[in-house]
Structures are given as structure tokens and as C-alpha cells.
Chains A and B, each alone.
Chain A
Amino acid sequence: MPEWGNLPIPQKLLKAGVRDMVRISDARMSGTNYGTCVLHVSPESFVGGPLALLNEGDIVALDVEQRRLDMCVSEEELSRRRQAWRPRQDIYPRGYGKLFLAHIKQAEEGCDFDFLEGIAAIPEPEIH
């Protein structure tokens, strides 16, 4: 979940005086940044979340008052894109990255590892 939520404004818009635009991302951004940003879309596109199904040219409706964010794409079309979607695999063949991918939870669930949650007691180490 890198800091890609604060996508830079395209240069031609900057030159036209535009200093803000709506960004929608399943990543995060620095809390020091500003602007109209919809972040932490969950589940993320990496696992085939809705942003993975969004194509260039689609209309997205954002209604903050009603707390709605919708892509204006028919269910049939979404279904077709879902069928066509393929996961990325083997980014981390070993190591911490592999552990991370195996156990990370989604943004709405806090991004903890599934095996770290909860309050089940762990025994004190033996002294020997």
C-alpha cells in the first residue's frame, strides 16, 4: 500500500490553473498531503477488488453527502471484466514479502496479519 494516493496533477491541467482533482486509489497517501482524495479502496485491485475492474473512460460517480462511490458500469460488463481479470503471482518467491502476501488483511480490516490479531495467551519462554 504505497503512497500513491496523492497522484500528481497532470502538467497540462497545472498550466491551466487547476490545483486539485479527485483521486481514487486503493493505496494510501501521506497524511500531510491535501486535496480531494478517496483512499484505501478495499478490497484492493491487487486481489481483484473493484478498482481492478475500472477501465479508462468509465464514468465514476462520487457523492460525499450520500457517502457513495459508484462506477457507472453495467453488471454484465463488470462480470465480463471479472472473468477476464487475472491475479499477479510470484512477486515474492521467498522471504518477508511472501509472508506478507500470505497473511495481510485488507485496509478496512486494519492491514494486520491474520495470525497477529486477538488476545490469545502465548506462554512465557522457558528459562534454560
Chain B
Amino acid sequence: MPKKTTKTLRSYRWYGPDTLRTFSHRSRAASMGCIQADYAGKPVIAIINTWSDLNPCHSQLRECAEDVKRGVWQAGGFPVEMPAMTLGETFQKPSTMMYRNLLAMETEELLRSYPADGCVLLGGCDKTTPALLMGAISMNLPAIYVPAGPMLRGNWRGQTLGSGADVMKYWAERRAGSIGQQAWLEIEEGIARSAGTCMTMGTASTMTSVAETLGFSLPGASSIPAVDSNHAKMANRSGRRIVEMVWEDLKPRDILTAASFQNAMVAVLALSGSTNAVIHMIALAGRAGIRVTLDQFDELSRRTPVLANLRPSGKYLMEDFYYAGGLPALLDALSPHLELACATATGKSIGENIAGSEIYNSDVIRSLDNPVFSSGGLAILRGNLATTRWTRESTIPLSMSTRTRYWCCAMRVPKALPACRNGATCPSLRNC
């Protein structure tokens, strides 16, 4: 049963009543070619798009927005695309981290200040995922996350290249003098072969997996390569689903619970995901009034096996992960560690979403009895100032003030130190 009626839609206040102001809204909609039948009584779906010419991870998002719109129209909604600042990891300085909260604010205020009944969030590059979600959680309108999707595998002289890790690896080799300028240029042109986010289990895929596990994306969405036609179909389906979610009034804070955050933490650990997830998940939870602690991460890390054999801590890339069954297959294998009753954007529980998912390559996605590592790759460290009451002397107007503080940090623990062909030890690139 729909919980919303046409007159209780948020957008009704902009379009519905017979007033001077709503006349302006309708007349200006008309100036863009819209007739009343396009939007009257329909959920207005804001497609928040972080496309930019300076964000290669999102270079396909203009086409992706069209796929979402098609789904929204088909389901009886009125799609409106709204550009938001992009956080392009490679180009933005001094750090995209400085601007995560600005995009979060922009997302929240775009949704608040315009006639949006629900939203589809288009992001994927590292900080865009937490930023868009933080804004949407704070605004608490029905929301679906459409992740940009990872790039195809990199390729250099027949060798598979992975984002980030191989840059550091071959940069070290170049500085050591073992590869030359020509090889370096070939690597430069071979490591990023398509639109999409880094295709290792870096922050982008870690955070899109978090979004999916929290229940913000359709099942499997985070694993689909950006340029696979299944990605366009996922975007289309997301557009259809968000319209239903508006009528059902299914909002982020109806979905998010302490248990869903714990599920996402377990997923990060089983993926051997990025340490940056710790920071972003604490922030996301803070927007929902839920407390996520460093101790939870550490405790879960000790008992969560790594099942995804993905770089930088394993062997394969996101394209392989998708073909092996993707995140639903991994979560299904991990199900004894999950709270399966958690709600999701589909309207079903996460347990229902992943039921029956199969693993198609048991080396890429391992089972609980054959994990990559028996425990997680994150450790929370505390140190010699942990019990010191330390009064900050500075006058910088930061939010932290005099209080007991712990010296805390997250660490990605290298698990394997196999010998490389060149005889050097290498913590992660086991196939190098």
C-alpha cells in the first residue's frame, strides 16, 4: 500500500496548489517543454550527478543519468538531473577529502531547496560515495545509490594492471632502474582502459560495496564494470525502483540501523577493503544518529575472514569479482557473519536480496572454509598517549577541546610476504 498520496508528495507544494508562486513553477516548467501531465501528481526524482570532464571515474555518468531517467519515466515519475560538484580523486587538490563534506552539504541542500521527492545518487569515485550518502541521509528522502562502476582491467604487454597498486609498484621499479621510459609510457596508457573507478578493491569499490551492503543500491550494483551494458540496465532499474520507494516512503533512516552498519563493516573486512572506509562509515553513521566505533572494527577484524581475493591484498580485479558472482555472492558466502533481516532499498531484507547467489569462480570469491586470510586486514592501534589526559594548548578553533583522547589509527595489515620473481618481498601482488 502506498504511504504517500499525490498531495503529500513534497513536490506538490511547488507544483500543486493554485497560487501565484506555483504558477511560476509550472510556467517555467512549460518553458522547458514540460506539460502538466509530465509531472502533475508524480514523484519528482532528483538525479544528483557528479559527472565532470575532470573526473574520469564518472565520465559515463551523463549517459547513465539518461538510463536512470528512462526508468523513472517508465515507472511514472518525473526525473530531474541536478549537477553537483565532483570529487575527482586524481585531479582535485590538495585532497578530495577536504571537499567530501562540501559535497555532502551540497547534496543535502539541493534536495532540500528544490522540489525533490526522492533521489538517485550518481557517484563512485572514492569520496563521492560517502559524500552523496551523507547528504541524502541527513535530508532523509528516499534514495538509491547508482555506483559508477569499476574500470575494465588494465593491460600492459599482456600483463594485467591494477589501479594504484601497480602504479606504486612500477614507479618503484622505475626509480630502481629496472624499467625504462618507454615501458613507463606504455603503462601510463594501459593502466586505465575505460570509464569507471579504480578496479582494485580500493576506496571506490570499498565504499560502493558499503553503499550496497547498507541497502542503498540494487543487489550486485557495485560490482558491475562501468562500461558493461548490465550497468545501464541496473541504472534503469534503479530509476524504476526509486519511484516505488517514494510511494512507499522508504527513507534512508528506515533502512539504516546499527546492524546494517555492522554488516557493512563485515563486508569491508571480508573484501579486505580500504582503511578509509573506517572514517567514512563513522561519518555516515553520525548522520543517521548511529554510533560506529573503532573498537567495533577491530573486534570484527579479528573474526571476519577475507573471502575476496582482490588486489591490493589479493590477486584479482573487480571485473573478475563481477564475473565470479560479485558482492551478492560474497555476502551469501559470508551470511553466518551477517544480520540478514536488515532492510534495503529493494523493500526486501538483505538476506532475501542475496539468497541463491552463486559463486562462479571459487578462487576469486572464497568460501568460509577456504578463506584468503582467516581474519581481517584492519587493525586499530592505540599507543603510549592512550591514557594521558592531554590538554591541547593551541588556539585553533577546532571542535576538539580539552578531553581525554586516544591515539588511534587504522592499519592495513599485510598478510602475505611471498617472494616475487625478482626476489624482493611483496606484500600483496601475489601474481607479479
Give residues in A with beta carbon < 8 Å to B.
Answer: 1-3, 6, 8-9, 11, 14-15, 17-20, 24, 26, 28-43, 47-50, 62, 64, 67-71, 78, 82, 85-87, 89, 96-97, 100-114, 116-119, 122, 124-125, 127-128
Taking CB atoms, residues of chain A closer than 8 Å to B126 are 30-31
Give every chain B residue within 8 A of A105 (Cβ-Cβ): 399-400
| Residue B394, interface by CB 8 Å | yes
With A1-B95, A11-B175, A125-B113 given, is the CB distance from A101 to B382 under 8 Å?
no
**Residues of A close to B428: CB separation below 8 A:** 34-35
Using CB atoms and an 8 Å cutoff, list the residues of chain B in contact with chain A: 10, 13-14, 19, 21-22, 89, 94-95, 97-98, 100-102, 104-105, 112-113, 126, 134, 138, 140, 162-165, 167-168, 171-172, 175-177, 198, 200-204, 206, 253, 273-289, 294, 298, 311-313, 379-385, 390, 392-400, 405-414, 420, 422-429
Q: Given that A100-B98, A122-B112 are contacting pairs, would A116 and B396 also be in contact in the complex, using a CB cutoff of 8 Å?
A: no
How far does the alpha carbon of A89 sit from the alpha carbon of B398 in the complex, in Å? 12
Given contacts A15-B177, A116-B287, is CB(A40)–CB(B278) below 8 Å? yes
User: In the docked arrangement, what's the CA distance between A18 and B134, Å?
Assistant: 41
With CB as the reference atom, state the residue of chain B lying closest to A37.
Answer: B412
B392-A48 in contact (CB<8A): yes
B13 A127 Cβ-Cβ under 8 A: yes
24 pairs of residues in contact across A and B, judged by CB atoms under 8 Å? A29-B275, A30-B274, A34-B427, A37-B411, A42-B406, A42-B409, A47-B400, A68-B382, A69-B407, A69-B409, A87-B396, A97-B98, A105-B399, A106-B400, A107-B409, A108-B282, A110-B281, A111-B279, A116-B101, A116-B105, A119-B138, A119-B288, A125-B112, A127-B22
Across the interface, do B380 and A67 meet the contact criterion of CB distance under 8 Å?
yes
Task: Point out the residue from A18, A87, A111 that lies within 8 Å of B100, measured CB to CB.
Answer: A111
| B contact residues around A34 at 8 Å (CB) | 165, 168, 311-313, 412, 414, 427-429
Identity of the chain A residue whose Cβ is nearest the Cβ of B171 in the assembled complex: A8
Contacts of B397 in A (CB 8 A): 101-102
Q: How many Å lie between the Cα of A41 and that of B210 in the bound state?
A: 23
Residue of A nearest to B273 (CB): A31
In whole angstroms, what is the CA distance A37 to B427 when docked? 11
The distance in angstroms between the C-alpha atoms of A122 and B102, with both chains bound, is 18
Most buried by B among A33, A36, A71: A33
Q: Contact: B381 with A67, CB < 8 Å?
A: yes
**Would A33 and B312 be within 8 Å (CB), given that A28-B275, A102-B398, A112-B101 are in contact?**
yes
**Complex-state Cα separation, A117 to B290, whole angstroms:** 10
Q: Which of B202, B286, B289, B390 contacts A31 (CB 8 A)?
A: B202
By beta carbon, the residue of chain A nearest B286 is: A117
Q: Which of B10, B165, B385, B408 contacts A108 (CB 8 A)?
A: B408
Q: Is the CB of B427 within 8 A of A35?
A: yes
